[in-house]
């Protein structure tokens, strides 16, 4: 069967954080914050189950930011007082405020394992946990401690991510996904050290090894860049490199305009989480549109390797839209599964 999942994040309820904002401050504190996060995770697990998604996540309801939410659990990193740097190759802005490395970066214990255990207690579906990829984490920090370059910093993050990923796999994570939007930006670096950093992060990890490579959230800066961009061939370079690695599942955008789904042929024999739901618009796809986007992938991938997915995280969308998009996703997959005689 063609299965379904989401890239990772979901919008937070208004009582937990302001909607439509990345890195929005929490509206609760202390034990109330913990309780609010527990409730938000349960609501989204229920919604994902009601929608019929095959693989679920906690919607990143305990994280203000998909990168710093993990980095905060390591030593030596300040995610409060930020410093400017050229990030994402200057694609979306000349300078971006990023976290500062002020001391040795070490993993002293699990960061997300308790959150995973909570999810496992509240669902019987396979669970995916998302973590920032080492290249993207390096691109989102500045090393004020030793001024190391991104390749060296990425390897330090990869070592910490490896400890975390092993702990998550041991605690029952079914899929561990590293988020690497930078794989669509620094193509030479992906070849030179990005894949090596991934392998370091996944070394000995027994859960399914997944990677998310995208063109960014549906926020204004990104949408403005996408509207003007004419070069959409990055996957043609990165997917063959990923296919040759130990990564078993890749999540890519194909719902957004401009992308040619034929690029997934490089992943033949491995799982593709195919973006068939856009995150750039609050307009909800019909199940028929989702089905047509899945159908066109069948020329390049076997159906049992296809997983219908969102293009990226849905955190900037409204809750109602995110719910409706999840339903359209599963209904669209069901249409194609029926056509193929699989259900
Ligand atoms: Zn993404």
DSSP 250-302: EEE--SSTT--GGGGGGGTTSEEEEEEE-SS-SSPPPHHHHHHHHHTTTTTS-
Residues constituting the chain: 343
Query: What is the distance in A from the centroid of ligand 1 to the CA of 341?
Result: 32
Residue 141: the pLDDT is 98
Query: What is the distance in A from the centroid of ligand 1 to the CA of 305?
Result: 20
pLDDT category at 22 given cuts 50, 70, 90 is: confident
Query: What is the distance in A from the centroid of ligand 1 to the CA of 179?
Result: 7
Residue 258: the pLDDT is 86
Query: What is the distance in A from the centroid of ligand 1 to the CA of 237?
Result: 18
Which SS3 state, helix, strand or coil, does residue 16 take? coil
Query: What is the distance in A from the centroid of ligand 1 to the CA of 22?
Result: 13
Query: What is the distance in A from the centroid of ligand 1 to the CA of 31?
Result: 31
Residue 41: the pLDDT is 98
Query: What is the distance in A from the centroid of ligand 1 to the CA of 7?
Result: 7
Residue 145: the pLDDT is 98
Query: What is the distance in A from the centroid of ligand 1 to the CA of 343?
Result: 30
Residue 138: the pLDDT is 98
Do the strands 77-85 and 96-101 form a parallel or antiparallel pair, or are they unpaired?
antiparallel
Q: Which of 312, 129, 137 is nearest to 214 (CA)?
A: 312
Separation between Cα atoms, residue 113 and residue 101, nearest integer Å: 24
The neighbouring-strand residues paired with 177 are: 130, 210
Domains of the chain: 3-339 (3.20.20.210)
Question: Is the pTM for the entire model greater than 0.85?
Answer: yes
Residue 19: the pLDDT is 84
Residue 253: the pLDDT is 96
Query: What is the distance in A from the centroid of ligand 1 to the CA of 327?
Result: 20
Query: What is the distance in A from the centroid of ligand 1 to the CA of 160?
Result: 21
Query: What is the distance in A from the centroid of ligand 1 to the CA of 226?
Result: 13
Tell me the percentage of the chain whose pLDDT exceeds 90.
97
Query: What is the distance in A from the centroid of ligand 1 to the CA of 299?
Result: 25
Tell me the percentage of the chain whose pLDDT exceeds 70.
100
Tens-digit pLDDT profile for residues 190-216: 999 999 999 999 999 999 999 999 999
Query: What is the distance in A from the centroid of ligand 1 to the CA of 18?
Result: 20
Average pLDDT over residues 43-55: 98
Which SS3 state, helix, strand or coil, does residue 108 take? coil
Tens-digit pLDDT profile for residues 64-81: 999 999 999 999 999 999
pLDDT category at 20 given cuts 50, 70, 90 is: confident
Residue 272: the pLDDT is 98
Query: What is the distance in A from the centroid of ligand 1 to the CA of 99?
Result: 19
Query: What is the distance in A from the centroid of ligand 1 to the CA of 181?
Result: 6
Which SS3 state, helix, strand or coil, does residue 141 take? strand
Query: What is the distance in A from the centroid of ligand 1 to the CA of 289?
Result: 21
Residue 256: the pLDDT is 87
Query: What is the distance in A from the centroid of ligand 1 to the CA of 146?
Result: 30
Tens-digit pLDDT profile for residues 232-290: 999 999 999 999 999 999 999 999 888 999 999 999 999 999 999 999 999 999 999 99
Query: What is the distance in A from the centroid of ligand 1 to the CA of 240?
Result: 19
Tens-digit pLDDT profile for residues 125-171: 999 999 999 999 999 999 999 999 999 999 999 999 999 999 999 99
Residue 185: the pLDDT is 97
Sheet harboring 77-85: ordered strands across? 77-85, 96-101, 141-143
pLDDT category at 109 given cuts 50, 70, 90 is: very high
């Amino acid at each position: 069967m063609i299965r379904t999942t989401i890239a990772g994040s979901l919008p937070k309820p208004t009582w937990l954080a302001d909607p439509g904002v990345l890195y929005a401050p929490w509206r609760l504190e202390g034990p109330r914050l913990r309780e609010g996060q527990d409730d938000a995770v349960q609501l989204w697990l229920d919604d994902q189950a009601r929608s019929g998604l095959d693989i679920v996540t906690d919607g990143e309801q305990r994280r203000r930011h998909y990168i710093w939410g993990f980095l905060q659990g390591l030593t030596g990193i300040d995610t409060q007082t930020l410093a400017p740097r050229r990030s994402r190759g200057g694609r979306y802005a000349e300078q971006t405020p990023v976290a500062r490395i002020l001391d040795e970066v070490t993993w002293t214990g699990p960061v997300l394992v308790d959150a995973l255990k909570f999810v496992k207690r509240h669902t019987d579906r396979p669970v995916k946990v998302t973590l920032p990829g080492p290249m993207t984490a390096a691109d989102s920090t500045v090393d004020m401690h030793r001024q190391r370059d991104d390749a060296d910093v990425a390897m330090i993050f990869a070592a910490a991510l490896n400890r975390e990923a092993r702990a998550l796999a041991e605690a029952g994570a079914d899929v561990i996904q590293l988020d690497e939007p930078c794989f669509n930006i620094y193509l030479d670096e992906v070849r030179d050290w990005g894949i090596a950093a991934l392998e370091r992060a996944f070394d000995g990890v027994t859960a399914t090894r997944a990677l998310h490579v995208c063109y960014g959230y549906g926020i204004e800066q990104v949408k403005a860049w996408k509207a003007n961009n004419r070069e959409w061939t990055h996957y043609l370079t990165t997917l063959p490199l990923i296919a040759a690695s130990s990564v078993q599942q890749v999540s890519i955008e194909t719902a957004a305009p401009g992308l040619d789904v034929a690029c997934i042929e490089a992943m033949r024999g491995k799982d593709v989480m195919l973006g068939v739901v856009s995150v750039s618009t609050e307009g909800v796809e019909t199940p028929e549109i989702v089905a047509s986007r899945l159908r066109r992938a069948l020329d390049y991938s076997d159906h049992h390797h296809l997983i219908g997915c969102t293009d990226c995280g849905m955190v900037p969308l409204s809750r109602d839209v995110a719910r409706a998009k999840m339903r359209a996703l599963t209904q669209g997959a069901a249409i194609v599964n029926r056509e193929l005689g699989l259900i």
